[in-house]
Amino acid sequence: MRDSSYGLPDVAVANGDIIATYYIESATEEIMRYVVALIEEQTTSTWTPVPGEHSRVRDNHTGKVIAVYGLPDYEYVLPKDETRKYVIQLAYPAINFGPEIPMMLSTLIGNIAQVPVLKLLDISFPEEWLKGFNGPKFGIEGLRKLMNVKDRPFVNNMIKPDLGWTPEEGAQMAYEVALGGVDLIKDDELLPANPPYCPLAKRVKLITESVKRANEQTGEKTLYVPNITSDVAHLKENALRALDAGAEALMINFYTVGFSAAKMIADDPEIQVPIMAHIDFSGAIFGSPYQGISSPLLVGKLARLAGADMQIVTSPYGKFPVVRYKCQQQVINARQKFFHIKSLLPMLSGGMTQGAVPKTMKELGYDICLAAGGAIHGHPMGATAGGKSMRQAIDATMKNIDLEEYAKDHPELAAVVNTWGKSDATEYFDLKIK
């Protein structure tokens, strides 16, 4: 055992190291050798000594094991033939990679991602390293100022059906939704940036014009958010084409184009509009309890670093099997003080309904966006009433009035309560495993 392979968290923090926390399982009693092998695999060493790994290289570039916590924390008797569970922390010298997400992830969860049970739970970033990131341009406060939404949750609508509509049809749907008081209207993540039946420039022009017409009638500000996701080679071209056509916000499927590509758009000085991140594909990265990257880190922290002003977050009160506390952690990570990095607006989605509004707000507060698709377009009285009923559900909750009581004087909300009840969407469309 080499003492140089280990360190204390206190020293790692003082050195400005990046500290990564993992969950691992192992049957070996040589756990300390095992975790040293992990950190050395991801920094300077290989399976056998090599001449170039001299003292200067080790001192400046080799990582250190700074914590190994057994679960449970046995002290005297270690059960035989038991696969043991551990939470470990490894410290990586920030000099090994600049302020870049690709090389940082290649280091922290690179080759060792092939270990059968190893999941990256969190990363602690030193302030100096974070200075290389701009983060969101607007954040929650900037979005509130831009859209004049002072103290309530935002409301977002996804145009439904997901795809297949023409720019003219999209403009009509968006107009009806905007009349209902929705703050944001976004493309579905499944709609490509520039499909032949719904070209980007024409789509943005017609929908933006229809939304502005609705804004003149409501006195509020609704933004249309087109999806510009494509191959990286076309991403900026799509962004500028959308902006030229009048777009005031842009959406990117962050987890398919990659953080670096999304950050390129968010950081571009020619692109001075809010960026919305979609969560699709992220479940392939965080979905396993034994491998990948934990969702609060992936969704709440890394997307924020890459410059997302707002991001879809899967609601635990919808159609997907989301663990409540994980959603809560994602929201906390999106809004917590993070040195100079602005906050990220979490957009609760995935079967959001009027009936789920009270418990969502009471659990997560007002600095959220309630993102509903079918609950607005599928409203019995039409999409305008769908938007109004979402706003009414928010108003009722802010006034601490039960939805059924508030619905007595609000026909749009009453139509929802009478049709769907006060429950969430799972009675009608549920992807949870029974």
pLDDT in tens, 308-325: 999 999 999 888 999 999
pTM of the prediction? 0.94
Amino acid present at 201: A
- Encode pLDDT of 375-391 as tens digits: 999 999 999 999 999 99
Tell me if residue 160 is catalytic.
yes
pLDDT reported for residue 350: 92
429: pLDDT strictly greater than 60: no
- Encode pLDDT of 401-418 as tens digits: 999 999 999 999 999 988
Of 399, 400, 403, the residue nearest 390 (C-alpha): 403
pLDDT reported for residue 318: 86
pLDDT reported for residue 111: 95
Q: Are strands 18-26 and 84-92 parallel, antiparallel or unpaired?
A: antiparallel
Which CA distances in Å does 38 have to 91, 285, 292?
11, 20, 15
166: pLDDT strictly greater than 60: yes
Percent of the chain with pLDDT over 70: 92
Q: Which two tokens stand for residue 153?
A: 């949750």
pLDDT reported for residue 48: 57
At 81 the three-state DSSP class reads coil
Question: Looking at 64, 160, 263, 379, which residue is catalytic?
Answer: 160
Phi-psi category of 166—alpha, beta or left, where left has phi over 0 and alpha has psi -120 to 50? beta
Question: Looking at 278, 377, 410, 422, which residue is catalytic?
Answer: 278
349: pLDDT strictly greater than 60: yes
**Helices 232-244 & 259-267 angle (0-180, nearest 10):** 30
Percent of the chain with pLDDT over 90: 86
Which residues neighbour 371 within 8 Å (Cβ) at sequence distance 6 or greater?
Answer: 155, 156, 157, 158, 186, 312, 347, 348, 349, 352
- In the chain, what's the furthest Cα-to-Cα distance? 80
* Across 158-173, average pLDDT: 96
pLDDT reported for residue 294: 98
Place of tokens 């009722």: 396
Task: Quote the CA–CA distance of 135 and 139 in Å, as a whole number.
Answer: 9
Tell me if residue 340 is catalytic.
no
pLDDT reported for residue 124: 97
- Encode pLDDT of 194-218 as tens digits: 999 999 999 999 999 999 999 999 9
423: pLDDT strictly greater than 60: no
pLDDT reported for residue 434: 47
Domains of the chain, start order: 3-130 (3.30.70.150), 139-427 (3.20.20.110)
Of 370, 372, 362, 295, the residue nearest 334 (C-alpha): 295
Q: Which two tokens stand for residue 204?
A: 């943005």
Q: Which has more confidence, 268 or 78?
A: 268
pLDDT reported for residue 394: 98
